[in-house]
């Protein structure tokens, strides 16, 4: 299959279940909410070495928020529900409560919830009130008052949605990856937790050479500089650079939609030779996203 | 003392010793290096709830870097040297190795060092080489090769430099704080680890009301909405909002310089009533930064 | 009338008819399209001293554009249709044709059109083709090929929609104005042509003191520092700073919607004392936007 | 000659004399000054179709400005001194006087000056005062007071400094161009007036096919898609995309320094095949910047 002249590999992305929480951070301006959101979702690319996977889901207009101010919804993802709770406490407590002009609200309706009791910071000076129909705490702080909800919805979601962009140069692959990330931003309920949404160093499970202490290592079969040095390289002729896009989201549907929009955007950039995806033969998780199915409506005529 | 008509409180900021590391992240463009730096220093406002305090120190022109590319120097701070090492491994490994086009180099000459052995990710395909006279590893990855040094200097530095900006409105205080942060950026060897460099919710040690489980709580004597509710409020008449600036750095000298430039910038914004600083009577740490000393050359004529 | 506790003046904004064109600029990434859009709409705040009023209308996802790439729609406004044409030729020719990776398409279906014949730049090497069903020219240039449509829709629209934000400090008024601009961005078919969308120096028609050569001058009755110096000041007690928001758009409907969302956002910021609007008793133009009508659904209960 | 493995063409850039003015725009924050600077220097890529060539020269710390606030220096360039004056009046009057929190000061000491009498906007309510030792006007406006100097230095400078980056893909060439622009920003006294500093559509003088009405047209001999279609193409084998960097500045020295830093940065990006420069055999202007001379200290060993 080809899309806009770019070969689409006949493969699938394999993904696995996680818990997901969503937090609305409002601020006096969008930029102020965004500053808090960026810091609160930092150092959260992969649960291999970070406390969670997190990122900005979407921007919210003032008319849609409980306090009539602009906002940013962040998503926090982890296989363990307990870790969701501790991440919310620490990431909101350290990075949003401290940020200028912000307030926080739950942004995920769900039967399952976790408590995030920030009001103790008020040392008894805090009080309960309502904002936009929500029960909140108002905590007196230096800048004024910090408004927060304390019950956050948690639900099962999907992590590890992915695709690979094969370029004829690093510049080609990178610009296509940036275009893909821009397109994925339009899909509510998804995040791309890596820096700028892009993974430069996709990994394989395990590390044969240093197996005693490394759980993952470079996906050497996809490393272009090793194409002629390893017997089983996957790198097609002419491919000089590859980027991976990794997507987490609320459901299989939004992951599939994000993959579709991202791949289409990448396929309309210059110098892209092929789009593929990563899987582990079903060992990683139960979700499969078949590229040819996702893109069936967009295949070039033969 | 007044500076540009703004009262300077006759007090001092109290600060404490920490370990500091500095890492140069280069990229094909400044924006790409900055993306990695922002993510790698995220979720790092305070060691109370984060694994470290971290931030961007300065931007570096291509002519100053080992690989001739633009770069960003980040600083990572922690009281424990061991935690510096683990933070470097995880923050670089998860947030820079994965980021598009980046390389990492040590940016702190020091006798004390910590090892940051990222090359194991190469699973034996990595090799040693030199870049700009530095011994580095080249790790084959999807985008090409990741270049990294593996020995990083660590030295004693200072955390907790601070000052408070008292405004006649939240807007006044916030714009002054943003001006201060802009000025502090010009002082090499310093970072301001909070979101946007600004603390909206300065804290006191301890939490009398919930003392069993909270180590810190809102600095209620500096909360403007409590001015008429607590008997010992520090909030001067007319002050509606206060922001704190917290600074970490390589030495007492750079902290003092950063405080000076930051306070001067804040004092030239509109609607600022007073500048003060936070201390704990010497219990927190050995470093004292007296505001009147720091600003002695800038006092308004009486 | 009050909205969220902020007084809404019982007055109206007066606006006048103009011609409007809309141009879609696509790029390999959103950031690249935005760079071109920003430069192409620069120096275009007011037709008093600029060749047009222009700005970014909205961002467009790759799935919505003829070439499958992300884009930015700009709007160019002028009372004279002839000036619309010359502005499109010069602003696209100098600022988009020259910008990296961009293409341009018409973004306004209209019976009235103006020709924008950029293909002559191709010196005969250009050729006609189709992209996404549109007839376009492909011009060989240094970076590759520049794709452009050459017929652009023009229609009658509205300029001069406006409101004033009265703050208790400059910081309060400014943050509220920034919040308003953020909200207005959500209304398709509108632009706010001043720097950052905000006017710091609203003017009155005429200049009594220097009447021979100045057509407009400072609106002294709205200047807070003159409150006690002019006999007829409009500035309410406690107001220290005022910003004006000026909106141009495709129709009265979108102007009214933008005013509504902008005012609501401003009224939810801190330190705002009143919202008003500017009119000239009907001498400027035929369109009237009554604040109490626009906000009738949002009035606080009495 | 090669630099970092990239061939440097044995040619020179040809440039011509212009008048130059520099204006310091200060604001409460750097971001606010930058907003005004960006708008004021918009629509100013080339005097072929714009009223001037303009751009941001450098960022200035609060400690360096007359009013103790952060600032941005812009440069405005035109062959005619009279046009410098009219551009300053209109660009400052429409885009800085109207911008939130800004003030303007002369940033070029020179015997030659032009008057920029903005104070008439004050309609007689303005008054003279001093700020940081400068004689300024204070004009009462809606946000407060606008502070401005009215005499601006003008001197002879250089326009048209340039070089070409030849890439193996559009992405490679673009990232290298962005790296070059980042490096050039470090050279005080220079601007790169095109969008993002980069020219995608370099032109030749004249337009043989449409000679009656076009003064310039695509530089077809440098268009990669025409390599096999025109008999005299300059495009080397393997080059898929070319970007031009155009530099204006205060003197030959700063242009040469900017070219040096920009070329070195571009040569350290990936996929760059050659660096060249544009000249017209001496017909365009008297200044010549020989690439091999500029880069003599950086040539690779043979």
Show which subunits contact C, needing at least 3 CB pairs below 8 angstroms. Answer: A, B, D
How sure is the predictor about A283, in pLDDT bands with cuts at 50, 70 and 90? confident
Q: Which of A302, C14, C103, C210 is nearest to D123 (CA)?
A: C210
Band of residue D132 on the pLDDT scale cut at 50, 70, 90: very high
Q: Is B200 on the interface with A (CB under 8 A)?
A: yes
Q: Give the Cα separation of D241 and C264 in Å (integer).
A: 48
- A284 pLDDT higher than 90: no
Of C170, C270, C271, which is closest to B270 when you measure between CB atoms? C170
Give me the percent of chain A exceeding a pLDDT of 70: 100
D residues 40-59 near C, CB within 8 Å? 40-46, 48-51
Q: What are phi and psi of B258, to 5 degrees?
A: -65, -40
Task: List CB contacts (< 8 A) between B170 and chain C.
Answer: 171-172, 175, 270-271
Instruction: Please tell me if residue D2 touches chain B, with a CB cutoff of 8 Å.
Output: no
Query: Per residue in A83-122, pLDDT tens?
Result: 999 999 999 999 999 999 999 999 999 999 999 999 999 9
Convert B247-267 to b/e letters by CB count within 10 Å (16 or more is b).
bbbbbbebbbbbbbbbbbbbb
- The residue segments making up the domain with residue A276 are 2-14+158-298
What is the per-residue pLDDT across A177-200, written as a single tens digit (0 to 9) for each?
A: 999 999 999 999 999 999 999 999
Closest CB to A271: pick one of D171, D269, D270: D171
3-state secondary structure of B297: helix
pLDDT (0 to 100) of residue C94? 97
Among D87, D142, D93, CA closest to D114? D87
Give the mean pLDDT of A255-282: 96
Chain D: touching chains (3 or more CB pairs < 8 Å): A, B, C
CB contact under 8 A, D174 and A175: yes
Partner-chain contact D200 C102, CB within 8 Å: yes
pLDDT of residue C299 exceeding 90: yes
- Return d(Cα D223, Cα D205) in angstroms, integer: 15
Dist CA C180 CA A69 (whole Å): 9
CA distance B2 to chain C (A): 21
pTM: 0.97
For residue C95, give the nearest of A52, D43, A18, A146 by alpha carbon. Answer: D43
Query: C133 and chain D: CB distance < 8 Å anywhere?
Result: no
Q: Is C190 on the interface with A (CB under 8 A)?
A: no
Please answer whether residues A88 and A152 qualify as being in contact, where contact means their C-beta atoms are separated by less than 8 angstroms. Answer: yes
- Mean model confidence pLDDT for chain C: 97
To the nearest whole percent, how much of chain C has pLDDT over 70? 100
Looking at the structure, do residues B219 and B290 belong to the same domain, yes or no? yes
Q: Which helix (H) or strand (E) holds C296?
A: none
SS3 B124: coil
Tell me how crowded residue A64 is: count the other CB atoms within 10 A of its CB: 13
B128 and B193 belong to one structural domain: no
Same-domain status, A221 and A268: yes
Q: Which of C94, C122, C155 is the last residue of a domain?
A: C155
Report pLDDT digits (tens) over C132-160.
Answer: 999 999 999 999 999 999 999 999 999 99
pLDDT at res. C175: 98
Q: Are A267 and A276 in contact (CB under 8 A)?
A: no
Of B169, B176, B269, the CB nearest to C270: B169
Are the C-beta atoms of A262 and C61 separated by less than 8 Å? no
* A210 contacts B143? CB cut-off 8 A: no
- Which pLDDT score is estimated for B160? 95
Could you give the angle at which helices D170-184 and D252-267 cross, rounded to 10 degrees?
140
Q: CA-to-CA distance for A162 and A13, rounded, in angstroms?
A: 6
Q: What is the CATH number of the domain that holds D23?
A: 3.30.70.520
Instruction: Name chain B contacts of A94, Cβ cutoff 8 Å.
Output: 43, 45-46, 48-50
Question: Which residues in chain A touch residue B99, judged by CB atoms under 8 angstroms apart?
Answer: 194-196, 198, 200
Is there a single domain that holds both residue C146 and residue C168?
A: no
The answer to whether the CB of C183 falls within 8 A of the CB of C175 is no
Share of chain D above pLDDT 90, in %: 95
CA distances (Å), origin D299, targets A248, C211, D5, D262, D293: 48, 64, 9, 15, 10
> B183 and B132 in one domain?
no
Which tokens is A225 given? 């500089």
Residue A47 and residue A10 share a domain: no
Angle between helices D170-184 and B30-40 (to 10 degrees): 80
Residues of C in contact with A64 (CB under 8 A): none
The structure tokens listed for D265 are 């940065």
From A4, A68, A101, residue closest to C68, measured CB to CB:
A4
Among candidates C169, C176, C269 on the partner chain, residue whose Cβ is nearest the Cβ of B172: C169
Same domain, D172 and D290: yes
pLDDT of residue C285: 86
Of all residues in chain D, the one with the smallest CA distance to B67 is D268
Quick check: A82 pLDDT over 90? yes
Task: Quote the pLDDT of residue C248.
Answer: 98
User: Tokens 């000054």 identify what position?
Assistant: D33
Contacting A residues, span 75-114, partner chain B, CB-CB under 8 Å: 89-91, 93-102
User: For B105-114, C50-59, D186-195, D279-288, which range has the lowest pLDDT when averaged over its residues?
Assistant: D279-288
Question: In the predicted model, what is the mean pLDDT of chain D?
Answer: 97
Please give the mean pLDDT across all residues of chain A: 97
Cβ proximity of B142 and A222 under 8 Å: yes
Question: From the CA of B2, how many Å to the nearest CA of chain A?
Answer: 22
State how far residue A126 is from chain B, nearest Cα, in angstroms.
10
Pairs of CB atoms within 8 A across A/D? 48
Q: Is B174 on the interface with C (CB under 8 A)?
A: yes
Average pLDDT over residues D262-276: 98
Round to whole Å and give the CA distance between B156 and B179.
29
Tens-binned pLDDT, residue by residue, of chain B (302 aa): 999 999 999 999 999 999 999 999 999 999 999 999 999 999 999 999 999 999 999 999 999 999 999 999 999 999 999 999 999 999 999 999 999 999 999 999 999 999 999 999 999 999 999 999 999 999 999 999 999 999 999 999 999 999 999 999 999 999 999 999 999 999 999 999 999 999 999 999 899 999 888 989 999 999 999 999 999 999 999 999 999 999 999 999 999 999 999 999 999 999 999 999 999 877 888 999 999 999 999 999 98
pLDDT at D302: 82
Distance from CA of B127 to the nearest CA of A (A): 12
CB of B268 within 8 Å of a chain D CB? The answer is yes
CA–CA distance, C279 with C11 (Å, rounded to integer):
8
Q: State the DSSP code for B101.
A: T
pLDDT of residue B282: 79
Nearest to D37 by CA among B182, C42, B180, B265: C42
Q: What is the pLDDT of residue A293?
A: 98
Q: Residue D226: exposed, middle, or buried by beta-carbon count in 10 A (0-12, 13-18, 19+)?
A: middle
Question: End of a domain among D94, D127, D155?
Answer: D155
Which residue bears the tokens 């979700």?
Answer: A287
Q: Contact at 8 Å (CB) between C3 and C287?
A: no
Given B135, B155, B175, the domain boundary residue is B155
State the pLDDT at residue C280.
83
Q: Are strands A241-249 and A198-199 parallel, antiparallel or unpaired?
A: antiparallel
What's the pLDDT score for residue A302?
Answer: 82
Do D173 and D236 contact (CB within 8 A), yes or no? no
Q: Which residue has the tokens 């080809």?
A: A2
Nearest to A143 among B38, B217, B241 (CB): B241
- Closest Cα in chain A, distance from residue C141 (Å): 15
Same domain, D86 and D202: no
| Section A267-283 average pLDDT | 93
What single string gives the DSSP state of each residue in D42-73? -S-S-TTTSS-EEEEEEEE-GGGSTTSS-EEE
Report which of C286, C287, C266 is spatially closest to residue C276, judged by C-alpha positions.
C266
Query: What CA–CA distance (Å, rounded) separates B81 from B111?
Result: 14
Residues C238 and C118 grouped into a single domain: no
- Cα separations (Å) of C212 from A296, C208, D124? 69, 9, 13
Q: What is the dihedral of CA B216, B217, B219, B225, to 10 degrees?
A: 170
D138 CB near a chain A CB, below 8 Å?
Answer: no
At residue B238, the pLDDT reads 97
How far away is chain A from the Cα of B293, in angstroms, using its nearest Cα?
25
Pairing outcome for strands C272-276 and C6-8: parallel
Please tell me whether residues C177 and C291 are part of one structural domain. yes
In the predicted model, what is the mean pLDDT of residues A59-78? 97
Answer whether residue C187 shows pLDDT above 90: yes
Is C172 in Cβ contact with B167 (below 8 Å)?
no
Are C176 and C219 found together in one domain? Answer: yes
User: What b-and-e string marks burial along A9-28, b requiring 16 or more CB atoms within 10 Å of the CB?
Assistant: bebbbbbeebbbbbbbbbbb
Which tokens hold the place of C128?
């006609």
C264 within 8 A of C176, measured Cβ to Cβ: no
Which one of D62, D175, D269 has the shortest CB-CB distance to B268?
A: D62
User: How many domains are contained in chain B?
Assistant: 2
Of the residues D29, D171, D179, the best mutation for testing chain A's interface (the one with the most A CB atoms within 10 Å of its CB) is: D171
Express each pLDDT in A194-247 by its tens digit: 999 999 999 998 999 998 889 899 999 999 999 999 999 999 999 999 999 999
Q: Sign (positive/negative) of CA torsion D293, D296, D297, D300?
A: positive
User: According to the model, what pLDDT value does residue D64 have?
Assistant: 95
What confidence score (pLDDT) does residue A118 get?
A: 96
For the CA atoms of A40, A46, A51, A52, the dihedral, rounded to the nearest 10 degrees, stands at 60
Q: Indicate yes or no: CB of C182 within 8 angstroms of CB of A267.
A: no
Chain B residue nearest residue D4, CA to CA: B68
In this prediction, residues C67-85 reach a mean pLDDT of 98
Using CB atoms, which residue from D101, D139, D170 is nearest to C218?
A: D139
Q: What is the Cα–Cα distance from B238 to C258, expressed in whole angstroms? A: 35
The set of long-range contacts for C60-63, using a CB threshold of 8 Å and a minimum separation of 24, is C60/C24, C60/C26, C61/A182, C61/A183, C61/A186, C61/A261, C62/A179, C62/A182, C62/A183, C62/A261, C62/A264, C62/A265, C62/A268, C63/A183, C63/A186, C63/A261, C63/A264
For an interface test with B, the pick among C30, C171, C176, C240 (most B C-beta atoms closer than 10 Å) comes out as C171
CA dist C126 to B97, C137, D194, D218, Å? 44, 7, 23, 10
A93 and A121 Cβ atoms separated by less than 8 Å: yes
- How far apart CA A159 and CA A272 sit, in angstroms, is 26
CB C217 within 8 A of CB D123: yes
For residue C40, list chain D residues with Cβ-Cβ distance below 8 A: 42-43, 195
CA Rg value for chain B:
21
C237 CA to chain B: closest CA distance, Å? 16
Q: Are residues C133 and C220 in the same domain?
A: no
């Amino acid at each position: 299959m080809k899309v806009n002249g770019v070969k689409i590999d006949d493969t699938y992305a394999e993904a696995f279940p996680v818990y997901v929480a969503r937090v609305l951070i409002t601020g006096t301006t969008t930029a102020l909410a965004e500053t808090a959101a960026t810091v609160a979702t930092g150092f959260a690319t992969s649960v291999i070495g970070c406390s969670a996977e997190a990122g900005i889901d979407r921007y919210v207009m003032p008319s849609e928020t409980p306090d009539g101010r602009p906002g940013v919804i962040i998503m926090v993802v982890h296989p363990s529900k307990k870790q969701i709770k501790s991440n919310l406490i620490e990431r909101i407590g350290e990075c949003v409560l401290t940020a200028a002009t912000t307030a926080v609200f739950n942004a995920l309706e769900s039967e399952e919830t976790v408590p995030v009791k920030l009001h103790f910071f008020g040392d008894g000076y805090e009080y309960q009130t309502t904002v936009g129909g929500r029960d909140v705490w108002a905590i007196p702080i230096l800048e004024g008052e910090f408004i927060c909800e304390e019950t956050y919805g948690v639900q099962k979601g999907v992590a590890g949605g992915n695709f690979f962009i094969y370029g004829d140069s690093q510049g080609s692959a990178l610009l296509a990856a940036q275009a893909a990330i821009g397109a994925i931003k339009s899909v509510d309920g998804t995040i791309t937790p890596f820096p700028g949404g892009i993974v430069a160093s996709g990994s394989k499970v395990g590390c044969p050479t240093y197996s005693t202490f490394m759980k993952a290592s470079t996906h050497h079969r996809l490393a272009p500089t090793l194409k002629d040095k390893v017997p089983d390289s996957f790198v097609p002729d002419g491919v000089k650079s590859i980027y991976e896009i990794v997507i987490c989201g609320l459901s299989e549907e939004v992951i599939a939609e994000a993959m579709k929009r991202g791949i289409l955007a990448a396929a309309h950039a210059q110098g892209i030779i092929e789009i593929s995806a990563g899987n582990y033969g079903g060992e990683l998780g139960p979700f499969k996203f078949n590229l040819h199915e996702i893109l069936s409506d967009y295949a070039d005529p033969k």
